[in-house]
Amino acid sequence: MMPTSPHGRTELLRPDGSPVRVLVVDDESALADLLSMALRYEGWEVRTAGDGAEAIRITRELRPDAVLLDIMLPDMDGLAVLGRLRRELPDVPVLFLTARDAVEDRIAGLTAGGDDYVTKPFSLEEVVARLRGLLRRSGAAAARSESVLAVGDLILDEDSHEVSRGGQEIHLTATEFELLRYLMRNPRRVLSKAQILDRVWSYDFGGQANVVELYISYLRRKIDAGRSPMIHTRRGAGYLIKPGE
């Protein structure tokens, strides 16, 4: 099943499986709080800024996947802020919030590099829908497909055969991939050597237990090296995978 957000829509996630990050820039704190609440309801990580300088500082820290940017800010024009944001993150999608409904203002915003705009007053549903569209089109986030397995920060794509942990790509041999896929399809469940041999190597248990131990050690070197361990041994029982501590 595809993961869904609390209201039932398919959940958007970053390529590494972590929550989408959005920066809301608006000097109206009540509106910023309302927008933040709506976006957190999507399961996204949200930060707010009340002026342009704070927006630039948070962009450097957060590296957001999308920005909601009010055109009218107390310290600098929204278009100037956009220029600074683009220097930090050239491809980040920007959705303008504007109280101005004049066609020339919209054109100015889009010409300056904004990706879309909504005019105040607007519905929260519209803002969320516009952001979801921008995130999908930019490739910053996508709906997790059923072919993607995730355990903690470890992601395995059964279609592309790509594996990553914490956003870092991990190269596996075909056998290592099959072993990891079997473990990840059964998170926190102890799998015996006999089960693993039958599923990964497709032959009956009998004097071949050492091949399982060998490939578990190969996986550990690639998956757990320098990180909190995810692959665990239960003596006399087998192996399991669970999120790192």
Q: What is the architecture, at CATH level 2, of domain 148-241?
A: Orthogonal Bundle (1.10)
Is the pTM here over 0.85, yes or no? Answer: no
Lowest-confidence range among 15-19, 84-88, 128-132, 239-243? Answer: 15-19
Q: Which of 84, 87, 47, 91 is nearest to 68 (CA)?
A: 47
Q: Which two tokens stand for residue 244?
A: 């790192």
Q: Would the pLDDT of 30 be above 80? A: yes
Write out the CATH class of domain 21-138: alpha beta
**Opening angle at CA 118, ends 117 and 122, nearest 5:** 170
Q: Strand 238-241 to strand 231-234: parallel, antiparallel, or no bridges (unpaired)?
A: antiparallel
Domain with CATH 3.40.50.2300 in the chain: 21-138
Cβ-in-10-Å burial (0-12, 13-18, 19+) of 185 comes to: middle
Q: Would the pLDDT of 193 be above 70? A: yes
Q: What is the maximum alpha-carbon separation in the chain?
A: 78
Domain with CATH 1.10.10.10 in the chain: 148-241
- One-character DSSP codes across 118-146: EESS--HHHHHHHHHHHHHHHTS-EEPPT
pLDDT digits 0-9 by tens, 50-64: 999 999 999 999 999
